[in-house]
Structure 1
Amino acid sequence: MTEQASLSAADLGDVEWRKSSYSGGGESQCVEVADLSPNGSNKIAVRDSKRPAGLVLMLSASAYTTFINVAAAGEG
């Protein structure tokens, strides 16, 4: 079994979160993203806006694009 580290939004420090344009229209389906490339990382952080201090999903920019394309196509 491999050990996985948990990362919370607070661990990222002062990053600019924005509501994803892929979020649903209602308040119950808000996803926020933060582009971490200005900090020298080629990562996109994703969090649930209802749990802003909760865990984040970290993806490379290319993995984020794949994630969005698969979700939009309804393949997931």
Structure 2
Amino acid sequence: MSALPRHVSPARLPEVRWLRSSYSTGANNCVETARPSAGPWAGLVAVRDSKDPAGPALLFSPASWTRFADRIDRL
């Protein structure tokens, strides 16, 4: 697999459905995730700051995102 970009503009992720954790409060102080189903990032996990939805999204492989989330959960 080729190297992934560190971030991508939300304009390049059209029509993705962003999801917020059920643990989130209404204060917009969390991250949102999406799974692009089409285009060059199909199958990856996109992550963005809920306070800046027009800002960049980070891209992870599903396995990398799972490892990251598992490690955070242990903190």
Is the TM-score greater than 0.5? yes
Amino acid across the alignment from 1:65: T
Higher RCO by CA contacts (8 Å cutoff, separation 6 or greater): 2
TM-score, with normalisation over the residues of structure 2?
Answer: 0.74
CA gap of 1:5–1:72, structure 2 versus 1, over 3 A, is closer
Tell me how far apart the structure 1 counterparts of residues 55 and 28 of structure 2 sit (CA, whole Å).
16
Q: Distance in 2 between matches of 1:48 and 1:56?
A: 8
Distance 1:60 1:5, change over 3 A: closer
Deviation at 1:51, TM superposition (A): 0.2
5+ residue gaps, structure 2, are none
Looking at structure 2, the residues matched to 52 and 13 of structure 1 have their Cα atoms a distance apart, in angstroms, of: 13
Indicate the residue corresponding to 1:59 in structure 2. Answer: 60
**Partner of residue 35, structure 1:** 35
2:16 maps to 15
Q: TM-score, normalised by structure 1?
A: 0.74
Higher helix share: 1
How many matched pairs? 69
Identity of aligned residues (%): 38
For residues 24-74 of structure 1, the C-alpha deviation after alignment (integer angstroms, 9 at most, x for no partner) is: 4362522110012x3262200000011001011100111110110011112
Aligned twin of 1:69: 70
